A and B are shown apart, each in its own frame.
Chain A
Amino acid sequence: MTAKSLFEKVWQDHVVVPETDDTPAVLYIDLHLIHEVTTPQAFNVLRERGIRVRRPDLTLATMDHSTPTVPVTSLKDLDVVAEGSAARQIRQMIENCREFGIELHGFDRDTRGIVHVIGPELGATQPGKTIVCGDSHSSTHGAFGALAFGIGSTEVGHVLATQCLLQRRPRTLAVNINGQLAAGVTAKDIILALIAKIGVDGGTGHVIEYRGSTVAALDMEQRMTICNMSIEAGARAGMMAPDETTVEYLRGRPMAPQGADWDAAVKRWLALPSDPGASFDREVSLDASALEPMITFGTNPGMAIPVTAAIPERYSGPSFRKAMEYMQVEAGKPMLGKPVDLVFIGSCTNSRITDLRQVASVLRGRKVADNVKMLIVPGSQAIKQQAESEGLDEVFRAAGADWRESGCSMCLGMNGDTVPAGQLCVSTSNRNFEGRQGIGARTVLASPLTAAAAAVSGSIADPRTLETRQ
């Protein structure tokens, strides 16, 4: 029997109709995550053609992108806090879910949250599944050994109608990460270093498998941070082998299998890792022990450097100059010490409980600098409750940070939480594109530790210089 990779095993298990030279494969989808922004047009098509949703039971719906992060307890509140078209979109989502019989984790539910945070949290994300969402950060779920990728709204319609997608088989890229991380260096730094190394199109056409001792030693939340940003390297998806850490994370979660089903599932999951000798179309390696905390200096996630380094002068060309101008930074100079206006902790990359605990370890007993506004947005209502039960909210408030309801918030600034033009924001999110956080916003991506260090220092800072307090 030929050695198969994790990707090949999951792919083959879901082929309904194999691909040919002339036609793509029909691939079955086990879990379809939906949210308010990329689904209205898909539901419209279903409605126009009189098609019902084939498997509402395999569809997990929430609202996150355009939702306010101030409390909304009734739809009446919504009009007060949300801008007109955002409120309409949210109402449309509620209506669509009702009409097509899909359970919605909406405002009235404490299971609501960012779609890529609640999938794993509810145990709906499982090894060996195919998972899609009209959202590019669907790659997050690959941390469990699922094949998960982002799709457009037309494809959302395809999945709603048929629970299948037409797909060409992607190529595979093995990323070997070995070595022990130094103190103050986290998963976010690994993925930023990788994207800086292979480029924002380094993974195009490929599914990445992250392998090696560093990955095996990470907890699930850190693994999700890495897989989340696979798309920022252009990859179709990112995957990691399921292991005991994966199994322990899922045990007892509401949508995870129970009883005898659980035992059978665990057996199936633990057989998924790539066989020894499985081949990949490409391979790259990263020495994790050499990594430092990373930050971005430009307008895409590949423009990243160690926090203590100077902006490299090796780049050139009009696009690079435009990025430098937009960011108001200079090649040859460090980012360290640059004054910061805003710090955003949140997004599907870094808004989970361990991220918040790290932020608290820096903020405890310290104050957010006078020149800085700090916004902390938990990834889900469940994380919010957990953080509050641990007293983290008090640490945040005492430091002078703003503690909010869950949602995408300032990651993409659709809900009114935006960075004012020209201001510099250190953000734990995943995209530093021009205008991503608001028109003219200047975004610096960093880990929760580095972002928190910037908040208390008032400028870009090395988290390793601050003692953390548990």
Chain B
Amino acid sequence: MEKLTRLESRITLLPANDVDTDQIVPARFLTTTTRAGLGKALFADWRYDAAGQPKPDFVLNQPEAADSKVLVAGNNFGCGSSREHAPWALADFGFRAVISTAIADIFRNNSIKNGLVPVVVDQATHEWLMANPWETVTIDLERCELVLPDGSATSFPLDGFSRYCLMEGIDQLGYLQQQSPAIDRYEEQRPWKP
């Protein structure tokens, strides 16, 4: 996982509310057995017509989206299915952060494990972003702040451990494996066995 301290990027706006992971990656793409290449499936049903041609008015098909690393979605992003294919697809397309007023729990967990920063902002900041397509913002992980073009900063919640993992590009499996003496002890000492 790539390290990330500071991210400056144009924002891509997707104003829909309650975007679920079935929209992010439709189920028919889930028969894959690898993580790679899911960027093509990202928002497939909104992005392509019935003949598989890109719909020109969909935001991801606009040229500005190509090098955008920050997706700003409507209220409550990533609800529904636990499919990690959703953050895999967003990351494969090139996004490194998602901004919304609320982000669903499982999607949030999955994002952090794939170097995608979940940024929850207040309504006013969200409204400003929604009114300013393709503006450039900065996400500062050191300070957990979203910095707008006028220099004003809003902080966003991110627990210390997630922040550390994102900044150092740390894979949590290694950390968990280091806990094995405690896990051995727990298994031996617990009063009942599953």
Please tell me which stretch of A24-32, A103-111, A369-377 contacts chain B, meaning at least 4 of its Cβ atoms lie within 8 angstroms of it.
Answer: A24-32
Q: How many residues in B have their beta carbons less than 8 Å from beta carbons of A?
A: 54
Minimal beta-carbon separation of A68 from chain B (angstroms):
13
Query: Which of A23, A51, A89, A200 touches B79 (beta carbons < 8 Å)?
Result: A200
A24 vs B176: C-alpha distance in the bound complex, in angstroms? Answer: 11
| Contact pick for A157, options B164, B173, B192, CB 8 Å | B173
Candidate in B74, B104, B173 with the most chain A CB atoms within 10 angstroms: B173
A17 and B32 form a contact (CB under 8 A): no
Residue of A nearest to B173 (CB): A158
Of A31, A38, A166, A434, the contact of B45 (CB 8 Å cutoff): A434
Given the complex, which residues of B lie within 8 Å of A158, measured CB to CB? 172-173, 176
Instruction: Among A45, A236, A434, find the residue whose CB has the most chain B CB atoms closer than 10 A.
Output: A434
With both beta carbons as reference points, the residue of chain B lying nearest to A28 in the complex is identified as B186
| B31 interface neighbour in A24, A88, A126, A163, Cβ under 8 Å | A88
**Interface residue from A129, A161, A200 paired with B177 (Cβ < 8 Å):** A161
How far is it, in angstroms, between the C-alpha of A24 and the C-alpha of B15 when the chains are bound? 33
Please indicate the chain B residues that have their CB under 8 angstroms from the CB of A88 in the complex: 31, 33
Q: Are B105 and A234 in contact (CB under 8 A)?
A: yes
Q: Are B80 and A433 in contact (CB under 8 A)?
A: yes
CA distance A204 to B109 in the complex (A): 13
Residues of chain A contacted by B186 (CB below 8 angstroms): 16, 28
Residues of chain B in range 55-114 having any CB-CB distance to chain A below 8 Å: 74-76, 79-84, 87, 102, 104-106, 109-110, 113-114
Is A162 a contact of B179 with CB atoms below 8 Å? yes
B17:A317 contact, CB within 8 angstroms: yes
User: Which residues of A in the span 103-157 have a Cβ within 8 Å of any Cβ on B?
Assistant: 126, 129, 134-136, 149-155, 157
- Taking a contact as CB atoms under 8 Å apart, the answer to whether A433 and B23 are in contact is yes
User: Does A285 sit within 8 A of B, measured CB to CB?
Assistant: no
Chain A residues positioned under 8 Å from B192 (CB to CB): 264-265, 268
Besides A51-B177, A268-B192, 8 new A-B residue pairs in contact (Cβ under 8 A), listed by A number: A44-B34, A89-B31, A135-B82, A154-B173, A200-B18, A264-B192, A434-B22, A439-B45
Which residues on B are within 8 Å of A, measured CB to CB?
15-18, 20, 22-23, 26-28, 30-35, 45, 50, 74-76, 79-84, 87, 102, 104-106, 109-110, 113-114, 159-161, 164, 172-173, 175-177, 179-180, 182-183, 186-187, 190, 192, 194
Q: Which 6 A-B pairs have the closest CB atoms?
A: A30-B194, A152-B84, A40-B33, A152-B110, A85-B31, A150-B82
Binding site for B on A (CB under 8 A): 13, 16-17, 21-24, 26, 28, 30-31, 37-38, 40-41, 44-45, 49, 51, 58, 65-66, 83, 85-86, 88-89, 92, 126, 129, 134-136, 149-155, 157-158, 161-166, 168, 170, 200-201, 204-205, 231-232, 234, 236, 264-265, 268, 300, 302, 317-319, 322, 412-414, 421, 431, 433-436, 439
